[in-house]
Amino acid sequence: MKIVTARKILEANELAAQRNRNRFHAAGVFCINLLGSPGSGKTTLLEALLRHLDGPLAPGVIEGDIAGSVDAERIEALGVPVVQINTQGACHLDAGMVEAAVADLHLQRLDLLLIENVGNLVCTAGFDLGEQLRIIVLSTSEGHDKLIKYPAIFRGSQAVVVSKMDLLPHTDFDPRRVAEGLRVLSPEAAVFHVSAVREEGVAELARWVAARASARSD
Ligand code: MG
Ligand code: ZN
């Protein structure tokens, strides 16, 4: 019997993540790992963000899902190059999956690569994909207690997007509790309050992403 320890898997992931990072750097591509629960509104946010990024940045997308291609079809409809990864049961993306998907993208033509991870707040946090930035999407309908329950993923993120702000009046979600949690977990994290369906807060997020991307390696 052969036993592969979690440590070995994470070491292999770290090597693949470094290869991805080198490729992104060589191609001048800024890479973002977009995280969040199932139904937090990652794809809807991505669509809104892509509509606001129509400036000089050429975006590409990798969609991670356990099965299907519904999210990739939504991105393709916007005319943005997209590759769908089906993890076939795995509940997170790893750097090797991203490395394989990148082979199907023309990296040289891109400035920005947005990776929508599998909807999961647990093990997605442990797998570096080679990204320069992690953004976590937290919807008002999920509850502000996610920061207490899943600290690791918030600790590793540079921005939190509170999504579905249009639903706020119908929930007990308290944005102040998010700010309080982040002061401990990730004090430098930027916070955006967004309603993608109402196009509120998206332009601000797009400007921040564009500024981070253009400050990357030059
Ligand atoms: Mg999605
Ligand atoms: Zn997983």
Residue 218 pLDDT > 70: no
pLDDT band at 215 (very low <50, low <70, confident <90, very high): confident
Indicate the domain borders of the chain.
6-217
Residue 2 pLDDT > 90: no
CA distance 125 to 120: 9
| Full-model pTM | 0.95
How many angstroms is it from 3 CA to the middle of ligand 1?
33
Segments in the chain forming alpha helices (H): 6-27, 42-52, 70-76, 95-102, 146-149, 151-155, 175-185, 202-214
Residues 113, 29: contact at Cβ < 8 Å? yes
Q: 83: which strand partners? A: 62
Within the chain, how many helices (H) and strands (E) appear?
8, 7
Which amino acid is present at 43? T
Ligand closest in space to the Cα of 119? 1
Fold of the 6-217 domain: Rossmann fold (3.40.50)
Residue with tokens 């079809």: 73
According to the model, what pLDDT value does residue 3 have?
82
pLDDT band at 54 (very low <50, low <70, confident <90, very high): low
How many angstroms is it from 117 CA to the middle of ligand 1?
8
How many angstroms is it from 120 CA to the middle of ligand 2?
7
pLDDT tens digits for 20-47? 999 999 999 999 999 999 999 999 999 9
191 sits in the region (left: phi over 0; alpha: psi -120 to 50; else beta) called beta
Computed over every residue of the chain, the mean pLDDT equals: 95
pLDDT tens digits for 161-187? 999 999 999 999 999 999 999 999 999
pLDDT tens digits for 109-146? 999 999 999 999 999 999 999 999 999 999 999 999 99
207-211: long-range pairs with CB below 8 Å, 24+: 208/159, 209/32, 209/49, 209/53, 209/112, 210/53, 210/55, 210/57
Residues with CB under 5 A from ligand 1 (ion): 42-43, 71
How many angstroms is it from 81 CA to the middle of ligand 2?
26
Q: 192: which strand partners? A: 161
How many angstroms is it from 71 CA to the middle of ligand 1?
5
Ligand closest in space to the Cα of 94? 2
pLDDT band at 76 (very low <50, low <70, confident <90, very high): very high
**The two structure tokens encoding residue 118:** 């599998």
According to the model, what pLDDT value does residue 6 have?
85
Residues 188, 157: contact at Cβ < 8 Å? no
